Amino acid sequence: MISNKAKKQIDIWVAKYPEGRQSSAVMEALKIVQAENDNSLTTEAIQAVADYLDMPGIAAAEVATFYENYNHKPVGKHTIRFCHNISCMLNGADDLIVYLEKKLGVKTGEVTKDSLINVKKVECLGACVGAPMFQIGDQYYENLTTDKIDEIVDGLRKKSK
Amino acid sequence: MAKIEIEIDGKLVNARAGEMLIAVTDRESISVPRFCYHKKLSISANCRMCLVDVEGAPKPQPACSTPIADGMKIHTQNEKAKASQKAVMEFLLINHPLDCPICDQGGECELQDVAMDYGSDVSRFTEGKRIVADSDIGALIQTDMTRCIHCTRCVRFGAEIAGIMEMGGTGRGEDMKIEPFLTEGIQSELSGNMIDVCPVGALTSKPFRYELRSWQMNSMSNIARHDLVGSNIYTQTYKGKVKRIVARDNDDTNETWISDRDRFSYEGLAHENRLLAPQIKVEGEWKEVEWNVALDFATRGLGNSVLNNHQSDQLGALASNTATLEEFHLLQKILRELGSENIDHRLNVKNLNSPIALDSNVKLVNLENMDHALIIGSYTRLEQPMVNHRLRKASLKGATVDVINAMEFDFNYSINSENIIAPNKVVATLAGVLKVVLESKQQELPDYLTSVKTDDVITELAEKLLAEGQSVIVLGEHVINNDSAASIANLITNIAKQTKSSTLNLSASGNSMAANLSGFVPGKGGLDVNAMLESELKAYILLDVYPHYDFHHSIKAIDALNKDGAFIISLNSFKDKDVANYSDVMLPISCFYETSGSHVNIEGEIQSFTASVSAPSDTKPAWKVLKVLADLLELPGFHYADSAQVTSEITHQSHKSHVHDENIDLTTKQGIQIIWQKSPYAVDALSRHAISLQATKIGQMNSASMNKATAKKLEMTQGDEYLGVPAIISETVANNCVFVNANRSTQAGGQS
Ligand code: SF4
Ligand code: FES
Ligand code: FES
């Protein structure tokens, strides 16, 4: 379930904690395993992480279900994390989300047919100054307009061809 | 800890510095509401129900996690405290379904009680409430997770007491729920305690679902007799039936916990397989008759077969380990009055040429303070759950635990060195340990040890026992399958003496300590069970014996008892095909909780109990049956008005300590060895008839485990029937042995 490469990456984190406290590396381990499993975690994957770190499966599941960034359903290649908190909302985020949903033909939480993109509503990402905004991967996109959204989404589509 | 004085609600109370406030208020009977706090679990302080006002603190403080300090002034009832308690209560009820009328916890619900005191009668919450989907967590616990208030007692119970974290809190905020991770159901042998710790109706007893309200039942103290601890319980009864069993606190035995076996076995009482009427066999046909007819038939039978011809040495009495102290006493007294010493309860011991003699000399509470334990031949977790609980506590405090077993087991604490060896190597290993011990003390070696080999493993086992600190050597039940059992016990006695270790003899279970106390073993010139069966006695009295399960040499036993000409009186609480085949009279006796009597636990503590319900239909308590039988046989000294008089006779009689043979014989047989263990929920007829217990994973244990090499020798593959149970090939088993764990009758009995 966990590749040798991933195990090596996890071991780096395990080494940072005192002996016998390997379970402290659970967050990173889940992240690493998620990354190599199409960005989502199955029950088996969580159990595998738990086994690798010698901790109860449920304890790993508690962490995996607590944080937003662990996915438990298949996601697209790109996740658009659209902020709908106060500043973005006041600047029209809700309408833009509807626009984006229409453009992609999916609702938030769903994945496009080509498995390329999914949209997730998130809370304030600390970029209120450029509201409305969303995040794809590590990249922030600010001061969004419908045009800008077209450009970004089309760009993603082109890249994947 | 320093003694200090604090003031609670204007009253000065003494306490120890550092104690949590709630511990003090509980001791002083000052009521502070709580949900997440539980005296035997760690403090999580997450429900906030216990908020009280501490003078000087700006905000109310949780009593469960506020350590007290000298001079502290606390108000549990002032306006500030009351207002916070009310506010918390309102929050806790926001998502609670308030479905008390259909909730099994109704009437014994901590939430209901606290809401009566602190809740408001009108809810200000008009938004939609959340609903949590339930998961099926097995045959014993019913879940209704919408009622859960996230106190995490069940989660902490699993992680801290059961040693398997099975429940957990997943999700967060509004989506948080308490659930198990895997869908296989709860596996712990102590799982039922989650029902007791859950303050609301989220976790309730599945077999008891929708049966009754708590106030409709009578709670009566009783003692569970499935193991050597004798856990203290309440039997809750309604109209003469046991409806539920819950734990009763006793810090000397079971603290506040009981095993699932003790909690759910009562279901067997109502099983349709109960033997309900006396029966006699006339010309091969069973006939239901009145008690007096049956007893008359029994006495006449005894007369004709043995007594009239002065052949009382041809009479034998056997009993299973479920009998009470009083029953053991009366039956052995009858036999001895009649002039027979053929008395035995060790039906499941393979080799009785010399008895397994090993004292238990450690109190259960002291087990927790051990620095080291050596466990030999035991899956303690499932066989003696409450003993294991103490060992686990010791381990958590830092004790090391070594085991010598024929198979790897799933202990719920860490094992220092796990030695998996075949039964015939145990005696040599222990001899090696003794040798190392004696050598290290520069003592002379007895002859039998001179040629014994030692190695690193053996040396390490010995060194652990020799090290500073208190050790205990635990001898488990698997030894009864061992030809060298007596030598093993004697070696342990010697090792313990030399290393000043305590010993704990778990080689017999149920109420077998009572059998020993009452002298239910062959006396001078008497035959042990194996010898009785060999010598084809002419008459037997069998007390709650189920041959397929109880005898080690089960097939031989059934053959022997079926031989023509033997007159057999069987007292049973359940019907059994083989019993019906070989018996001439079947007398229906009451089962657990239907009779008064006593259990003797591993500490030698006699715990007496009264009947919680009366015996069903025509069944009678065995002690009464035996008393009447003795009267009909015109034996003197059986004028008892109640079982307590029998108990006092036993406690007043002087007990000669058994002289036993201290011989140590290191010779062993070669070849494939079979260890035959009843699965933990098949130890007696009552648990075998408890359907919910049988539906659990532990209840379903049915396998003959062996490693590849052994399987090859036996020409077995995974899943093949071996001695009546499916074979499992696993490298966790020692070479050359088969570990049979079965919840049904097998042909394993008496195999090599
Ligand atoms: S199920 Fe019961 S014990 Fe467990 S967290 Fe919920 S309320 Fe507490
Ligand atoms: S509200 Fe959108 S980034 Fe702060
Ligand atoms: S009992 Fe104190 S916070 Fe729950």
CATH number at residue A133: 3.40.30.10
pLDDT at B121: 84
Sign of CA dihedral B267, B271, B273, B276: positive
- CB contact at 8 A, B650 and B643: no
pLDDT at B742: 86
Do B501 and B520 fall into the same domain?
Answer: no
Tell whether the model's pLDDT for residue B282 goes beyond 60: yes
pLDDT at B653: 77
Nearest to B358 by CA among B529, B437, B515, B474: B474
Using DSSP, state whether B280 is helix, strand or coil: strand
pLDDT at B749: 65
Do B184 and B313 fall into the same domain?
Answer: no
Mean pLDDT of B22-32: 95
Determine the residue of chain A that is closest to B170 in CA distance.
Answer: A62
Tell me the C-alpha to C-alpha distance, in Å, between residue B462 and each of B407, B466, B501.
Answer: 21, 6, 11
pLDDT at B130: 92
Maximum average pLDDT range among B309-313, B372-376, B509-513: B372-376
pLDDT at B724: 87
pLDDT at B110: 94
Per-residue model confidence as pLDDT tens digits over A101-121: 999 999 998 999 999 999 999
Tell whether the model's pLDDT for residue A8 goes beyond 90: yes
| Residue ending a domain, choose from B651, B683, B708 | B651
Q: Counting atoms of ligand 1 from 1, which one is nearest the CA of B198?
A: 3
B663 assigned to some structural domain: no
A71 assigned to some structural domain: no
Tell whether the model's pLDDT for residue B533 goes beyond 70: yes
| Residue ending a domain, choose from B461, B490, B505 | B505
pLDDT at B153: 98
Do B553 and B619 fall into the same domain?
Answer: yes
- Which residues of chain B does A47 touch, with a Cβ-Cβ cutoff of 8 Å? 181-182
Tell me the C-alpha to C-alpha distance, in Å, between residue B177 and each of A6, B16, B90, B526.
Answer: 30, 37, 19, 63
Residues 65-94 of chain A whose Cβ lies under 8 A from any Cβ of chain B: 65-66
pLDDT at B660: 65
Residue B180 is nearest to which of A46, A58, A66, comparing CB atoms? A58
Ligand nearest to the CA of A127: 2
Which structural domain, as residue segments, surrounds residue A121?
Answer: 78-159
Written in H, E and C, the secondary structure of chain A is: CCCHHHHHHHHHHHCCCCCCCHHHHHHHHHHHHHHCCCCCCCHHHHHHHHHHCCCCHHHHHHHHHHCCCCCCCCCCCEEEEEECCHHHHHCCHHHHHHHHHHHHCCCCCCECCCCCEEEEEECCCCCHHHCCCEEECCEEECCCCHHHHHHHHHHHHHHHC
Q: Sort A158 into a burial class: Cβ within 10 Å, 0-12 / 13-18 / 19+.
A: exposed
Distance (Å, rounded) from C-alpha B155 to C-alpha B34?
A: 17
Q: Counting atoms of ligand 2 from 1, which one is nearest the CA of A127?
A: 3
Kindly give, in sequence order, each residue whose CB lies less than 8 Å from that of residue B718, ignoring residues fewer than 6 positions away. Answer: B727, B728, B729
pLDDT at B655: 59
Q: Sort B32 into a burial class: Cβ within 10 Å, 0-12 / 13-18 / 19+.
A: buried
| Residue ending a domain, choose from B651, B684, B706 | B651
B182 contacts A62? CB cut-off 8 A: no
The reported pTM is: 0.93
Residue A59 is nearest to which of B168, B172, B182, comparing CB atoms? B168
Which structural domain, as residue segments, surrounds residue B137?
Answer: 126-256
Per-residue model confidence as pLDDT tens digits over B597-617: 999 999 999 999 999 999 999
User: How far separated are the first and last CA of chain A, in Å rounded?
Assistant: 30
Mean pLDDT of B586-600: 97
Per-residue model confidence as pLDDT tens digits over B677-696: 888 999 999 999 999 999 99
Determine the residue of chain A that is closest to B159 in CA distance.
Answer: A56
pLDDT at A123: 93
pLDDT at B324: 97
Distance (Å, rounded) from C-alpha B55 to C-alpha B121?
A: 30
Do A153 and A102 fall into the same domain?
Answer: yes
pLDDT at B656: 56
| Residue ending a domain, choose from A33, A66, A99 | A66
Nearest to B531 by CA among B353, B676, B661: B353
Q: Is A97 in the pocket of ligand 2 (CB under 6 A)?
A: no
pLDDT at A160: 81
Q: Residue B90 belongs to what H/E stretch?
A: helix B79-94
Per-residue model confidence as pLDDT tens digits over B331-368: 999 999 999 999 999 999 998 888 889 999 999 999 99
Tell me the C-alpha to C-alpha distance, in Å, between residue B633 and each of B281, B297, B637.
Answer: 20, 12, 12
Residue A131 pLDDT level (bands cut at 50, 70, 90): very high
Do A18 and A62 fall into the same domain?
Answer: yes
Do B488 and B549 fall into the same domain?
Answer: no
Q: Counting atoms of ligand 3 from 1, which one is nearest the CA of B63?
A: 2
Residue B751 pLDDT level (bands cut at 50, 70, 90): low
Using DSSP, state whether B509 is helix, strand or coil: coil
pLDDT at B184: 75
- CB contact at 8 A, B6 and B28: no
Kindly give, in sequence order, each residue whose CB lies less than 8 Å from that of residue B26, ignoring residues fewer than 6 positions away. Answer: B32, B39
Tell whether the model's pLDDT for residue B587 goes beyond 70: yes
Determine the residue of chain B that is closest to A72 in CA distance.
Answer: B171
pLDDT at B657: 53
Do A53 and A89 fall into the same domain?
Answer: no
A47 contacts B168? CB cut-off 8 A: no
Distance B381 CA to ligand 1 centre (A): 25
Q: Is A85 in the pocket of ligand 2 (CB under 6 A)?
A: yes
Q: Which amino acid is at B374?
A: L
Q: Residue B438 belongs to what H/E stretch?
A: helix B426-440
pLDDT at B372: 97
B218 assigned to some structural domain: yes
Mean pLDDT of B364-376: 97
A66 contacts B164? CB cut-off 8 A: no
- CB contact at 8 A, B46 and B64: no
B165 contacts A56? CB cut-off 8 A: yes
Tell whether the model's pLDDT for residue B659 goes beyond 80: no
Q: Which amino acid is at B518?
A: S
Using DSSP, state whether B204 is helix, strand or coil: strand
Do A51 and A85 fall into the same domain?
Answer: no
A23 assigned to some structural domain: yes
Mean pLDDT of A28-48: 95
Give, for ligand 2, the residue of A80, A88, A135, A143 to mutate: max count of ligand atoms closer than 8 Å to Cβ. Answer: A88
Query: In chain A, what percentage of residues exceed pLDDT 70?
Result: 100
A73 assigned to some structural domain: no
Mean pLDDT of A138-160: 94
Tell whether the model's pLDDT for residue A74 goes beyond 80: yes
Phi, psi of B243 (to 5 degrees): -105, -25
Do B244 and B291 fall into the same domain?
Answer: no
pLDDT at B745: 73
Mean pLDDT of B513-540: 93
**Per-residue DSSP letter, B162:** I
- Give the number of domains in chain B: 5
Per-residue model confidence as pLDDT tens digits over B381-397: 999 999 999 999 999 99
Task: Calculate the average pLDDT of chain B.
Answer: 94
Do A35 and A57 fall into the same domain?
Answer: yes
B309 assigned to some structural domain: yes
Do B383 and B496 fall into the same domain?
Answer: yes
Residue B123 pLDDT level (bands cut at 50, 70, 90): confident
Do B682 and B646 fall into the same domain?
Answer: no
pLDDT at B197: 97
pLDDT-wise least confident of B10-24, B298-312, B649-663: B649-663
pLDDT at B1: 63
- Give the number of domains in chain A: 2
Do B372 and B293 fall into the same domain?
Answer: no
CATH number at residue B244: 3.30.70.20
pLDDT at B583: 97
pLDDT at B29: 95
